[in-house]
């Protein structure tokens, strides 16, 4: 689904089983890569320069029309004169963003062409696709590709009475998709309800006992920080469960009681938990470094400042 309308009033709004050309380059006059300064000695030369641009666009049109496409999807730009030259009722052309180009090629299971000169009949797609347009509101329009043979992408169209509700649905769907993506890339799951944090705390405290000297201080600090609260009765009971080896027990936020997350059914992505620990430890290290810098500057100032006169007289 693309947030684009037709670029010519004579274009068809419904095409069944079209031949599609997908490009990741613009369909317009190719300008110079650097700044170009054109100087003309005659008035006719300016008209000839404009004719050269039109000739280049027409050559591109004839190259595309040789493949007899029904739909052309280009990236970043489509020339206005291109639509007129393409015989608009036969071949609609639409300009989309790079992100939308990726979505379209996943939906159609094809590979785009990087330049119009490399297009061939073998790379023209002939899928069982219906190209249609449906209105979203009075100002915006949506172009959809439906009934694809082997799609690998889809579009979700939320409906609601207010824009705030639609924004909330959008955020919830985005969060759910992010969680699903994390689980796909890292299929490991960790129990929720603070069970992972408490298990990490108990393990770090056990590790700190085996370290002699001041080196065990970071282990104890992280162990106390990952519990998520003070040592109250509920947390003490939860800690006792983890010390006994029941590492799947966590805190139910609704009832305020400790429950077994394996039976409760609350699991979280392990990658999210790992990233949480990494971010917390990095923040603590940054604060410690800043404190060391401030303390060092303070000591240098105290050493360089002269003594007061009354202290010197004494």
How far is residue 40 from each of residues 32, 46, 47, 175, measured CA to CA in Å?
A: 18, 7, 10, 59
Segment 302-311 mean pLDDT = 57
Task: Give span(s): CATH 1.10.560.10, the chain.
Answer: 190-304
60 pLDDT band, cuts 50/70/90, is: confident
| Averaged pLDDT score across all residues of the chain | 71
286 compared with 135, residue with greater pLDDT: 286
Return the top range by mean pLDDT from 39-43, 124-128, 227-231. 39-43
Return the top range by mean pLDDT from 14-18, 231-235, 277-281. 277-281
Segment 141-159 mean pLDDT = 76
Task: Give span(s): CATH 3.50.7.10, the chain.
Answer: 14-30+44-154
pLDDT at 180: 85
Condensed to tens digits (0 to 9), the pLDDT of residues 3-46 reads: 777 666 777 777 777 777 777 777 776 666 667 777 878 878 88
pLDDT at 127: 44
Task: Tell me the CATH architecture of domain 190-304.
Answer: Orthogonal Bundle (1.10)
State which fold the 14-30+44-154 domain adopts: GroEL (3.50.7)
Q: What is the DSSP letter of 118?
A: G
Q: Where are the alpha helices (DSSP H) in 66-142?
A: 80-85, 98-108
């Amino acid at each position: 689904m693309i947030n684009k309308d037709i670029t010519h009033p004579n274009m068809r709004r419904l095409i069944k089983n079209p031949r599609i050309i997908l490009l990741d380059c613009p369909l317009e006059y190719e300008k110079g890569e650097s700044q170009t300064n054109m100087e003309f000695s005659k008035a006719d030369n300016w008209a000839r320069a404009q004719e050269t641009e039109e000739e280049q666009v027409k050559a591109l049109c004839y190259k595309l029309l040789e493949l007899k496409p029904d739909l052309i999807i280009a990236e970043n730009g489509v020339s206005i004169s291109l639509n007129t030259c393409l015989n608009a009722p036969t071949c609609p052309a639409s300009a989309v963003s790079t992100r939308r180009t990726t979505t379209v090629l996943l939906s159609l299971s094809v590979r785009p062409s990087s330049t119009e000169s490399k297009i061939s009949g073998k790379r023209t797609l002939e899928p069982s696709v219906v190209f249609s347009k449906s209105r979203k509101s009075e100002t915006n329009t949506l172009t959809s590709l439906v009934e694809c043979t082997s799609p690998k992408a889809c579009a979700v169209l939320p409906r609601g009475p207010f824009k705030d509700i639609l924004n909330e649905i959008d955020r919830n769907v985005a969060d759910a998709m992010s969680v699903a993506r994390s689980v796909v890339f890292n299929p490991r799951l960790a129990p929720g309800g603070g069970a992972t944090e408490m298990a990490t705390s108990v393990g770090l405290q056990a590790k700190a006992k085996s370290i002699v000297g001041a080196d065990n201080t970071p282990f104890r600090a992280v162990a106390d920080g990952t519990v998520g609260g003070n040592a109250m009765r509920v947390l003490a009971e939860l800690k006792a469960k983890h010390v006994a080896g029941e590492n799947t027990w966590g805190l139910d936020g609704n009832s305020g009681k400790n429950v077994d997350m394996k039976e409760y059914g609350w699991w979280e992505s392990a990658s999210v938990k790992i990233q949480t620990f990494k971010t917390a430890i990095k923040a603590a290290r940054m604060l410690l470094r800043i404190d060391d810098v401030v303390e060092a500057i303070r000591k240098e100032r105290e050493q360089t400042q002269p003594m007061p006169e009354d202290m010197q007289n004494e």
